[in-house]
Structure 1
Amino acid sequence: MAVIVPVYDEATGIRPTLEALAGQHDGDFDVVFVDNGSRDGSADVIQAFIAERGLTRWRVIGEPQKGTGAAADTGMRAAIEAGATLLARTDADCLPRADWTAAIRRALTERGLGLVGGELVPRRDEGTSLVTRAVLRGAVHLAEAFGRIRSGNRGSEYLGPYMMAAGCNVGITAELYLAAGGFPRTKIEDLHEDRALVNAVRRLTRAYARRSDVVVYGSSRRVRAWGLKNTLLWYKDHAYRPEHVDIR
């Protein structure tokens, strides 16, 4: 298994993510961090952590083309080239639960899934209130319900129903990733690459599912910067377009 983490200007905040990955119960995985043109020395921070912990299966590569889709695809393909048959992705501001890699491995092997999406729970260490975190969790499930009836996610070409699989909490087999064409090599402001990958998978197989045991704690920094309403509009086809989309 390989875990892919796109990185852009995360030097000051990535340490908890590194700790969360290093603390996985199932430690039998490689990690590919993809530095997407960071200007703050993010790669140096990661390399220092790798050296400090002696993590010989972790590495940093670069992708100059701007975009979460481009960076994620570069990382996925680098991992496949190195021999990975199971792939997982999270983001540099997220905290995978300690059983995350184990749960993804179980879903993609014992459960026979080709793609798995997990639960996205707001982080508890960012000062966000309990009420706001509850609203955010509800918004995630509401967004998936909306996605099921959205015309762009429906059609005779799809073999199964729409499923939301956030890019920061997704697992997929290398075989299916390549067959589906991978993450579109796009900018975050141009396309939701995670939704595009899910829809590509839906054209190929019904072997995909959401799993409640695949848990990642996600950052609420967009909500703090933009407010809840604008954040939801952003994820609804970029109906809200701020001047700066890369929130740090």
Structure 2
Amino acid sequence: MTDLWVVVPAYNEEASLPATLRALARQTDTDFECVVVDNGSTDRTPDVVREFAATAGFPVHLADEPRKGTGAAADTGMRYAIAAGARYLARTDADCLPVPGWTAAARRGLAGGLGLVTGQLRPRTDEFRLRLWESRLLPAVVSVAAAFGRIRPGNRDPQYLGPYLMCPGSNLAITAELYQRCGGFPRTAIEELHEDRALVNRVRRVTAAYGQVRGMKVYGSVRRLRAYGLRNTLAWYADHRFRPDVVDIR
């Protein structure tokens, strides 16, 4: 049993999940266990997990969360890992590619005294041929969202012990102790609440020991940006001011 667990929520990700699992297998620090949380998939997502687990170089578990929602699935995975003895919890998503030093950087940050850590989010280049504006603008979208987060009224409260930190759900790690103390991810759907923002603000109410860690880099999918367009993507992340007919882009 290891002290670090990686949690991967997944809904209908049979096409993207294999690359995410292969990225985890390429980590320089493979002393971790992984739990993929199937969030009511109707495709072969659970089979993909089982097939990969049979030959993986680290333990891979499959958990089930029938209540549809990224918050609910992430919380189920975190608490599954805690029940199994996890001390450190890292999360990425089933359409993302953590760099090889990701788990090592997460462990280093948490072992060094921080309770919550995050890092860079950059666009994937292997899904489809990126247009120039997509490769340039995804980092810009992240930067704009981070800047907006610092001035957003909901993120400004005298009770917060530290400044707002944008912490994408696809690239974060937290101690099990802090996760339980702050209440963890809200058990919500992605269209109801940005669960990563909610987690950060819950953390800010109990500690100021959080921050970015060098080496925690994840390459994220641009499929939402391509489907929504730039303006609507920004509006989506700004408190769901854009609400698409189809939320789960595949």
- What's the TM-score, normalizing by structure 1? 0.97
Matched, 1:21 2:14: no
Shift of 1:131: 3.6
- Per-residue CA deviations over 1:100-150 (Å, capped at 9, x if unaligned) read 00000000012x100012111011112213442221102211211111111
Q: Is the 8 A contact 2:91 2:170 kept in 1?
A: yes
Secondary structure of 2:72 counterpart: helix
Counterpart code for 2:194: H
**Aligned match of 2:89:** 87
Out of 30-39 and 141-150, give the one that drifted further.
141-150
**Aligned match of 2:11:** 8
Matched, 1:120 2:128: no
Give the 4+ runs in structure 1 shifted more than 6 A: none
> Paired residues, what number?
246
Q: Is the 8 A contact 2:25 2:57 kept in 1?
A: no
**Aligned match of 1:188:** 190
Q: In percent, how many aligned pairs have the same letter? A: 59
**Aligned match of 1:144:** 146
Structure 2 residue runs of 5 or longer lacking an equivalent are: none
**Aligned match of 1:222:** 224
Q: Is the 8 A contact 2:134 2:222 kept in 1?
A: no
Structure 1 residue runs of 5 or longer lacking an equivalent are: none
- Per-residue CA deviations over 1:154-189 (Å, capped at 9, x if unaligned) read 011101100000000000000000001010000000
Measure, in 2, the Cα distance between the counterparts of 1:174 and 1:130: 40
Counterpart code for 1:142: V
- What's the TM-score, normalizing by structure 2? 0.96
Measure, in 1, the Cα distance between the counterparts of 2:93 and 2:219: 10
Matched, 1:49 2:60: no
**Aligned match of 2:73:** 71
**Aligned match of 2:63:** 61
Counterpart code for 2:162: G
- Per-residue CA deviations over 1:44-93 (Å, capped at 9, x if unaligned) read 011111113364x1110100011000000000000000000000000000
- Per-residue CA deviations over 1:3-34 (Å, capped at 9, x if unaligned) read 00001001122111110011100000010000
- Per-residue CA deviations over 1:185-221 (Å, capped at 9, x if unaligned) read 0000000000000000001011001224210000000
Measure, in 1, the Cα distance between the counterparts of 2:214 and 2:145: 16
**Aligned match of 1:237:** 239
